[in-house]
Amino acid sequence: MLPEVSALRRSKSLIRIPPAQDVPVTPRVQRIIDSAPMRRLASISQLGMVALVYPGATHSRFEHSLGVYHNAVRLLSRFDEEGFITETEAEAFLLAALLHDAGHWPFCHPIEDMRLSHLGEHETRLSGYLASTSLSELLASDWNCDADQVCRLLDPPQNKTLTDGETFLVSCMSGPLDVDKLDYLQRDSLHAGVPYGQNFDAGRLINSLCRHPETGRLAISEKGRTAAEMMVFARYVMFSEVYWHHAVRSATAMLQRSVFLLQNRIDLESTLRLGDSDWISGLRRAAEGTVAETMVEGLFGAQRHLFKRASEYSVLDADPTIHQSLARRPYWWLVACSEKLATLLSDESGLPIHPEDVLIDAPPVKLEVDINIDVIARDQTRRTLGEVSPVASVLANQQFDNHVKRVRIFVRPELRKPLAQSLNTQDWGRLIQNSIQQIDKEIA
């Protein structure tokens, strides 16, 4: 039994985080929490642009990391006597949960979605933090695992075989019901002030977790089916109403285009260890006197000034062609298409529309983790959640991204009304299709 699991049951030293959650802390965990890489996370917002729409959503990556760590301790307590997880693997899992966002930088996810050639994903940066910061000394002095074992759980190597314990713990770190989602859905919902992500029983889910007898990955017993159904639906609604709220996506599209326009004026690599405030100050300085300045100031200046939604497309439309044509395109392609669309809109309406006045927001290349999971019945029958749950079947058997992530065309606020007077829905569809065809032809 790890001291952290013992602390869960003794409750001697605790850190209180919302909502009235007591996180057990041992001396060696406290030293990790007090390190510079972890303290930096206190200055990075968990939800970034969401706070422009939901003002209470200003909680930090640090708070979230403590919540994920707490879930990891609870999960290890659940499997403490199973015998397939070694002590070293269990320690690596706790550190992976606590440090999983240590490589995060401000507004990381929308910038990652752009797939800029010189930036990798934040998970891949943890190894550098573990090797070059005070964390390396703490691992050597306090823990029986090394940096490689921690990183293997967050970014599993493709050419190496994982142990039974690692196989299970990797699925606990990233999967349909991982310790990360168990925290962020409820925490984000709480701070945003909406009920959608809080209406599932996390405790019941953790108590129903089990190891799949064939794959060795995380599964749930039959008693957790209802809680899993509720979590699947909570995730769907949180994406629909919070993470992909149209105003949140407008702000996200503005940030992405600004970074794209300014990438030759700022050294993004050198900004990755900053907090939100310093990063924003650097972006504002870089934007001064450029075409991106209005967008950057609309996000971070004295007055909020967001682009407005002019057109929207879903996979559930009578004709889903536009959604299918724009979803998961490379970001540079979306920029080229939006610039072409701006030209066509100007020609059609007679309005002076500049290339940076039109933004296309579409589902990114990277897909969300599949929401399906195997349910183990009392007679050991194995079926997926989508097979046993009428509530979850549609969401579990059809691509999650296609249903919650819409394609939206945003324009500078002062353009929305005159464009609405000049163009109808059919005109928008025709011009977007023409833009797509012209860009594809030019590339070919």
Identify the CATH class of 3-193: mainly alpha
Locate the domains of the chain by residue range.
3-193, 245-306
Burial class (CB in 10 A: 0-12, 13-18, 19+), 309: middle
Which of helix, strand or coil describes residue 364? Answer: coil
Nearest Cα neighbor of 53 from 304, 385, 229, 338 is: 304
Residue 217 dihedral angles phi and psi, to the nearest 5°: -95, 180
Q: Is 39 left (phi over 0), alpha (psi -120 to 50) or beta?
A: alpha
308 DSSP assignment: E
For residues 404 and 58, the model is more confident at: 58
| Average pLDDT in the chain | 92
**For residue range 3-13, what is the model confidence (pLDDT) as tens digits?**
999 998 886 78
**Amino acid identity, residue 151?**
C
The most distant pair of C-alpha atoms in the chain lies apart, rounded to whole Å, by 72
Q: How far is CA 345 from the centre of its chain?
A: 33
**For residue range 90-143, what is the model confidence (pLDDT) as tens digits?**
999 999 999 999 988 999 999 999 998 777 666 667 777 787 778 889 999 999
pLDDT of residue 232: 87
pTM: 0.93
Name the one residue in this structure whose structure tokens are 């609870």. Answer: 74
pLDDT of residue 385: 87
**For residue range 270-299, what is the model confidence (pLDDT) as tens digits?**
888 899 999 999 999 999 999 999 999 999
**For residue range 158-171, what is the model confidence (pLDDT) as tens digits?**
877 899 999 999 99
Burial class (CB in 10 A: 0-12, 13-18, 19+), 75: buried
Neighbours of 342 (CB within 10 A): 20
Out of 234-238, 276-280, 353-357, pick the least confident: 234-238
Q: What is the DSSP string of 62-82?
A: HHHHHHHHHHHHHHHHHTTTT
Residue 14 dihedral angles phi and psi, to the nearest 5°: -135, 150
Between helix 147-154 and helix 164-173 the angle, nearest 10°, is 60
Contact 85, 13 (CB under 8 A): no
Q: Where are the beta strands (DSSP E) in 319-406?
A: 358-361, 374-376, 382-384
The CA distance from 113 to 365, in Å, is 7
Distances, alpha carbon 140 to alpha carbons 28, 39, 137, 155, 441, in Å = 11, 20, 5, 21, 56
